[in-house]
Amino acid sequence: MGASGSGKTTFLNVLSHRMGNSSALSLSGVVLYNGNSNLSSVTSAYVSQQDYLLPCLTVRETLFFSASLRLPYLSTSEARDLVERVILELGLKECANTRVGDGKSRGGCSGGERRRVSIGVQLLSNPSVLFCDEPTTGLDATSAYQLMYTLKSLANKGRTIICTIHQPRHDIYYLFNEIMLLSKGRTLYTGPTARAAPWFEHLVPGCSTTRSNPADDIVMVAAVDCRSPEAEVTTRARLDMLTQAWTVEAKARFPDTKYVSQSSITNISTPLKSSRTASVARQIWVLTYRDVLSTLRDPMGLIACWLGAIILGVVLGFAFLKIPRSLSGIRSREAALYSGAGMQIYVIFIFEMLRLANKDVRVLDREREEGIVDVVPWIVSRRAAHALLEDIMVPLLFGSIFYFMCGFDANAAQFFKFYFIFFLDQLTAVSFAMFCVSLSRDFVVASAVGNVLYTLMNFAGGFVLQADSIPVYLRWIKWISFPFYSFAALMVNEFTDQLFDCPLGDPNTDSDCVQYSGNFVLRSFSLTPGWFAVPMGALIGFIVFFNLGSGFLNQIKSGRFRLATQHSAGDEIYGDPKRKVDIVETEKRSTAGVDLEVIDLGLTVKKFSARSRRSKCLPILQGVSSRFSAGEVNVIMGPSGSGKSSLLNLICSRLPSTAGYFSISGSILIDGHAARPEDLEAMCCYVTQGDGLLLPYLTVREILYSAARLRLPQSMNKAQKRERVEQVILQLGLRDCADNLIGDESIKGISGGEKRRVSVAIQLLGDPRILIADEPTSGLDAFAASSIMDVLSTLAREGRTVIATIHQSRSELFHQFNHLTLLTKGGRVAYSGSAGEMIPYFASLGYYCPQDCNPSDWVLDLVSIDLRDSDAELNSRSRVDKILNAYTPPSGPTCHIKERGDLLLMKKQITPIHVAFPAVFERGLISLKRQPNVISTRIVQVVFLGGLLALYFAPLGRGFQDANVNIVGLIQDILPFYFVGVLQNVAVYPSERDAFYKEFQDRACPAEAFFLVYTLLEMPLEVIASLLFSLLGCIATNLRRTVAMYFIIALNCFCIVNCGESVGIIFNTIFFDSTEIALDLTGVVISIAQNIGGLFTIDMPGLLKAFNYISPMKYAVANMMVYTLQGVKFDCDDSEKLSDGSCAFRTGEDVLRLYKLDNVDGGKMLAGLVGITIAYRIVAYGVLKLRLAMMHHRIFRK
């Protein structure tokens, strides 16, 4: 036990060997397990604070798959029986067939139910040692007691249970055998529970109050009160005294510890390993079944793969429609084969890499830490699960459409060879993606490495740059490049022994028709006719190599976090104690009250079932009527899954977007007037349950100061806003962590409880009329929870309307409640009225609260259904039904009706752009500076690709091959920067977008400020990268060594990358629920744009020509070709001359004429590129505004 930030989770991670190895970590002391320093000598399990669950599986399926992996010796029926017992023990019966969900867009179980599922997963392994990090956080009081009672039962059977806990109710506290109390990383007590309170009473007389829960007493005495300088000095002195007292006491209680060798400690990051790991075959079977089920339950990713393959096949098929058997047709066939293979491989590669980095590898890391899954079975099962639906179907869809639309030979053997090549390409692409993610879990790094490696291999593929033109010292690369073998196999399959239509005679006998021979075409690419088996074997070898490499890298890889560093605040005001007191004392103000009332409110989610082909209605709230008055702390309580969060979301018009549709009944009144969604959204500040939208690379003080600049009135100057921030930091006890980074899953920052307080602090800075808080005390210790409730009570006394949901409340906090609304499962009201009258009301029904019992715990026990056995369920359901039938809701509105104009004055106005922009820009700049991966990737990726171009093409000459292939190939290879822009966007934009959506709902940040800041922070890095690239891609390659050409190429590079960023914004805004789908469809669009840009497909159908006019590729290709080739003269060798002794290409105009660019104005095309770059960014802004408008009106969906 201990206050937030006392080191509880860190201590638990050390005990369970979950701390990552880092030079910043220094560990002393010893951890022994039955006298052995090796954790693997015992079976263990770990319940983390975060829920790592697959959202598309039901609760029962999640537990069954876990049992199958953790308990391999059980038969299927035994595993199912065990799962059913765990479901009953944890009260999960009613949601057993509900999908777990993720608490965001997928709906599913409530937060408390997901918490219990996570615990159930660990309990299945029946470990000797069970580590639990905050197992009761997010649970209601009854569920928390039932869970801890289950853990106590396990302990009684000989298990060792070690858990951290914040606010145990009194009967949970008495379940503990021993407790350890920490404060600021120091031990204040370790020993029997019964002796804890007397120990502290002996040291601090009077600290044990008449309260019924000793846990609150000992946490309060160990807390440092940072709300005022005087209190901080006093509590720190007390803490030092308690630490010194225990240091002396510990030597007497644990006299043998000094004799234990310090060398016993070895590795604090060794993952847990079960001694009964399932066999490889069983792991493969279970993981395959689980992945197939997850894929079918969440078909959007699958549909994206199929749809992407179909669209790419159709569009490329149109671009190369019915290729003639002429000489120009031969060139088109070569381009079609190169485009088809290259684009399909690349799209699948990027899609798979994002899917792995964002979700799937995290699950692997988690299950590897628990010792239940090995790397090799995971890799095999992944491919087995995706074999039919993706690995076979995607190349079949694309290949069938593309092959026959292009008009390749209708020969079954040739077609199936063609399909087999694309099948191996698919496997190679996904294996390469896994290899890149194995190198780095960070998608920013993985995508940069993968993109560079793929481009390096693609240059050696033999099409854009023919083998004879590649520098001698680089020609060997093609032998280790899978794009080369893919392209070679396709060429051999298409051209071996083929004879095309020569107008001059027979290709077999007439020397003038030799170019029409397929074998001649192959030899021009340095390929041997019939050379098919070797490329196939090479592709299979690449698949094996990438998977073996992935297996090795994942075996040695750790997905653990890295430590954050502290950042000084600069000009903080903390330091003058008197000034602090003044701030606190002068911030007492009053405001006009707003009474809010809900009448007969109902909420039903309609979901369509694909199996029954019918829509199913799930009631969330049923006939809820209650009044929430200004000047009072209005609390909503109820068991997990009773609809508390849904009621808050409905009140403030923030229902999440899900696959279903909402049906809403009843009404919401503000001061007697029917409330419109925009009124509710404008008047409410909402503290959500999750803290995941806090920007991880800012410190606590920085993020609060930024929030103050966005939310506080413009009448306050900077100094006043800083003072307000410092006051809130003091009020919520954030002084000690004010200069620490927030952190996230990959970087260790402040604790979970501290993040919770930061979320509350941000909303407090908004000066809300109506403050809605969803579980504001969840995950907090008793002292921090008391501080939060003190702040909420202060706000209420100022005349504000405060509405909060509470799961676990101390008895002292209950007396701060003014109005209580009690919900039961199914969203029905069991009581709504004065909190002080609740106990007499239930006494009138025959239910009496014991004198020494916490009223909050008692009433939650009263209205909860006990699902642990059939008799308890029957009795508890009967009791709840009786309570529901006895309750009579008030009829009609009860609040005083005010003038409508008064309400309009109370609405929050969105922060104007001239105020928001500086705050958001400064915040974004600080965050960007602390992300070197993002900065380096935005610059290095473009520059590195420029280096590859220089390596392969420099120096360009002015011969026949340069005119025919090399110059055109170099310009074509600049176009992939389009996708570089998309990758840069995907790495940054989704997380910043989600944080912005939250601020936009709070009316703290206008879309214009967010969009402008994102653009301004992105563009300088693109400019630097483009200027550096042009040195390599233009000057070094000798494209044309003039100052004007240098800046033209730099401008083209900038525009192409920037357009990629804009396209990324558009698709990631439209498909905000799935970055994977957005990236897959974006890849298809960009692949199409690159291929119809003018160099591969000169003659296209009208529809594609129209599309080309809105693509930056057309303008980029045209202006670069014109500026590069106009006025250039070429020569040729005797062997390259025509029969009349002339060169096929004498001037650059001859090359431009071949590509129908001889009458194009390069200046106009460059201006068109700049114009379309601006237009794309304007469209991206418009899409963002449209998405925000849709979010604003989604509550009307019926």
**Of 338, 549, 364, nearest to 441 (Cα)?**
364
Separation of alpha carbons 521 and 872, rounded Å: 81
The number of residues in the chain equals: 1198
Asked whether the beta carbons of 187 and 829 are under 8 A apart, the reply is no
Whether the bond between 955 and the residue before it is cis, its omega within 30 degrees of 0, is yes
Confidence class for position 904, pLDDT limits 50, 70, 90 = low
pLDDT at 1106: 80
CATH for the stretch 577-848+891-906 = 3.40.50.300
Can you give the pLDDT at residue 573? 37
Task: Print burial letters for 384-406: b (CB count within 10 Å at least 16), e (below 16).
Answer: bbbeebbbebbbebbbbbbbebb
Convert the pLDDT of each residue in 205-229 to its tens digit. Answer: 877 765 567 888 888 888 887 777 7
Provide the pLDDT for residue 789.
Answer: 85
pLDDT of the residue at 657: 55
pLDDT of 671 above 70: yes
Q: What single DSSP character describes residue 751? A: -
User: Within a 13 Å sphere around the CA of 900, how many CA atoms are in the beta-carbon half?
Assistant: 5
C-alpha 997/C-alpha 692 separation (Å) is 13
Mean pLDDT over 593-607 rounds to 84
* Per-residue tokens: 1: 């036990």
* Angstrom distances, CA of residue 584 to CA of 227, 578, 725: 9, 10, 11
Instruction: Quote the pLDDT of residue 93.
Output: 84
Indicate if the pLDDT at residue 476 is higher than 80: yes
- Distance (Å, rounded) from C-alpha 777 to C-alpha 226? 18
Please provide residue 401's backbone torsions phi and psi, each rounded to the nearest 5 degrees: -65, -50
Instruction: Give me the mean pLDDT over the 327-355 stretch.
Output: 86
Q: What is the pLDDT of residue 325?
A: 85
- Look at 328 and 14; give whichever has higher pLDDT: 14
When pLDDT is cut at 50, 70 and 90, the band that residue 659 belongs to is very low
Helix or strand or coil: residue 186?
strand
Range 701-729 average pLDDT: 89
| pLDDT (0 to 100) of residue 1167 | 95
pLDDT band, very low/low/confident/very high, at 400 (cuts 50, 70, 90): very high
pLDDT band at 1098 (very low <50, low <70, confident <90, very high): low
Mean pLDDT comparison of 297-306, 489-498, 1188-1197, highest-scoring range: 489-498
CA dihedral sign, ordered 546, 549, 553, 556: positive
Tokens matching residue 998: 């939250």
Residue 745, pLDDT above cutoff 60: yes
What is the identity of the amino acid at 912? Answer: P
Average pLDDT score over residue span 351-361: 86
Closest CA to 20 of 369, 354, 463, 277: 369
Task: Provide mean pLDDT across the span 245-257.
Answer: 83
Contacts of 226 (CB under 8 A, 6+ apart): 232, 729, 730, 733, 734, 735, 736
Q: Which residues, in sequence order, are CB contacts of 1021 under 8 Å at separation 6+? A: 935, 938, 939
For residues 763 and 773, the answer to whether their CB atoms sit within 8 Å is yes
Mapped onto helix, strand or coil, the DSSP state of residue 611 is coil
**pLDDT at residue 21, rounded to an integer:** 61
Q: Where are the alpha helices (DSSP H) in 46-136?
A: 59-70, 76-89, 111-123
Q: What is the pLDDT, as a whole number, of residue 920?
A: 93
Q: Which of 528, 556, 59, 695 is nearest to 269 (CA)?
A: 556
Q: Residue 998 above 70 pLDDT?
A: yes
How much is the average pLDDT of 152-180? 88
pLDDT tier, 731 (very low <50, low <70, confident <90, very high otherwise): confident
Over range 263-281, report the average pLDDT. Answer: 58
Please compute the mean of the pLDDT values over residues 28-33 and round it to a whole number: 86
Query: pLDDT digits over 451-469, tens only?
Result: 888 888 888 776 766 666 6
In this prediction, residues 317-336 reach a mean pLDDT of 85
Q: Is the dihedral of CA 1091, 1093, 1098, 1103 positive or negative?
A: positive
pLDDT score at 1151: 84
pLDDT at 1026 > cutoff 90: yes
Q: What is the largest CA-CA distance in the chain?
A: 113
1113, pLDDT greater than 70 = yes
Work out the pLDDT band at 902, boundaries 50, 70, 90. low
State residue 81's pLDDT score. Answer: 92
Q: How far apart are CA 1020 and CA 1028, in angstroms?
A: 12
Q: Give the per-residue pLDDT at 579.
A: 41
Q: Is the pLDDT confidence value at 535 over 90?
A: yes
**Residue 666 class from Cβ within 10 Å (0-12 exposed, 13-18 middle, 19+ buried)?**
middle
Rounded to the nearest 10 degrees, how much is the dihedral formed by the CA atoms of 617, 620, 622, 627?
-150
Q: What is the pLDDT of residue 417?
A: 95
Residue range 794-814: mean pLDDT, rounded:
84
**Mean pLDDT value of segment 598-624:** 75
- Angle 1129-1132-1134 from CA coordinates, rounded to 5°: 150
Determine how many CB atoms are found less than 10 A away from the CB of residue 1050. 20
> What are the structure tokens assigned to 1137, written together?
């001359």
Tokens of 140: 């209601």
Residues ≥6 apart with Cβ < 8 Å to 43: 125, 126, 127, 128, 129, 274, 275, 276
Asked if pLDDT for residue 1116 goes beyond 80, the answer is yes
**492-518 pLDDT, tens digit each:** 999 998 888 887 777 676 766 778 888
120/90 Cα distance (integer angstroms): 7
Mean model confidence pLDDT for the chain: 83
The confidence score (pLDDT) of residue 386 equals 92
Report the alpha-carbon distance of residue 368 to residue 816 in Å, rounded. 46
pLDDT at 577 over 50: no
Mean pLDDT, range 315-334, rounded to an integer:
85
| Window from 655-664, 665-674, 727-736 with minimum mean pLDDT | 655-664
Q: For 816-853, how does the pLDDT look when each residue is reduced to its tens digit (9 = 90+)? A: 899 999 999 888 999 999 988 999 999 999 999 887 78
Structure tokens at 382: 């992944």
Report which of residues 39 and 130 the model is more confident about: 130
Q: Residue 575's pLDDT is what?
A: 39
Least confident of 93-97, 101-105, 158-162: 101-105
- In sequence order, what E strands does 515-595 have? 562-563
Give the pLDDT score at 869. Answer: 74
Q: Which comes out higher in pLDDT, residue 587 or 218? A: 218
86 burial level (CB within 10 Å; 0-12, 13-18, 19+): buried
Confidence of residue 396 (pLDDT cuts 50, 70, 90): very high
Q: Pinpoint the residues of the chain covered by CATH 3.40.50.300.
A: 577-848+891-906
Output the pLDDT for position 105.
57
Report the pLDDT value the prediction gives residue 611, as an integer from 0 to 100: 52
Give the tokens for residue 401.
């459409």
Q: Quickly state the pLDDT bin for 64 (edges 50, 70, 90).
A: very high
Q: What is the pLDDT of residue 896?
A: 56
DSSP lists the bridge partners of residue 636 as 805, 821
Checking if the pLDDT of 963 tops 60, the result is yes
Report helix angle 1043-1070 to 1112-1125, nearest 10: 170
pLDDT (0 to 100) of residue 891? 66
pLDDT over 90 for what percent of the chain?
26
Among 195-199, 849-853, 1171-1175, whose mean pLDDT is lowest? 849-853
